[in-house]
């Protein structure tokens, strides 16, 4: 199905390399679920009346990356990408598709947020903190949460992709 190479996370390394390896594994899994789809396919809703789509999921994960690494961990003022009126203290959005939305643009935005997330974390320790809901949250917790977020949504992506063209696995 996919032309994207997904390396297995290293099996016997330190905590940080393990966490980053699993996060990258799940990021790559989402990219693989979108590989080879056109805009129309990526905008196919899961099961009506739900509007849940692969393209919306990619947009959502761009918002999630932006929220946890830029807003929470780095303390940046980073407005929402897909809903400028969204409450910054509310759930991450991005699921709704604009008429002009393309999978290519969604993937590019998502990849840019991943690159920025890596920059935010590069020189920081797992014990360094940001602020979430008035409390300190360390980078280790954020990494674990992001792995969980991707794992959950990759299950959704698996079902969406199977509905689109019958492709399973990965």
pLDDT tens by residue, 22-74: 999 999 999 999 999 999 999 998 777 888 899 999 999 999 999 999 999 99
What's the confidence (pLDDT) of residue 39? 97
Total-model pTM: 0.92
Q: What is the CATH number of domain 15-165?
A: 1.20.120.450
pLDDT at 132 over 80: yes
What's the confidence (pLDDT) of residue 92? 66
Nearest residue to 112 (alpha-carbon basis) of 61, 43, 40, 44:
61
The Cα–Cα gap between 82 and 84 comes to 6
Query: What percent of the chain has pLDDT above 90?
Result: 77
């Amino acid at each position: 199905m996919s032309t994207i190479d997904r390396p297995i996370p290293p099996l016997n390394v330190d905590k940080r390399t393990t966490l980053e390896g699993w996060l990258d594994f799940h990021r790559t899994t989402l990219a693989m679920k979108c590989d080879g789809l056109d805009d129309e396919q990526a905008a196919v809703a899961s099961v009506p009346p739900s509007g849940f789509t692969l393209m919306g999921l990619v947009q959502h994960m761009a918002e999630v990356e932006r929220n946890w690494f830029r807003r929470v961990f780095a303390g940046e003022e980073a407005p929402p990408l897909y809903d400028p009126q969204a409450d910054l203290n509310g759930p991450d959005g991005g699921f709704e598709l604009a008429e002009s939305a393309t999978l290519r643009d969604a993937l590019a935005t998502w990849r840019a947020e991943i690159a920025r997330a890596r920059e935010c974390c590069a020189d920081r320790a797992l014990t360094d903190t940001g602020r979430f809901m008035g409390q300190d949250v360390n980078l280790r917790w954020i990494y674990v949460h992001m792995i969980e977020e991707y794992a959950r949504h990759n299950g959704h992506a698996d079902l969406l992709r199977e509905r689109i063209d019958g492709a399973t696995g990965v």
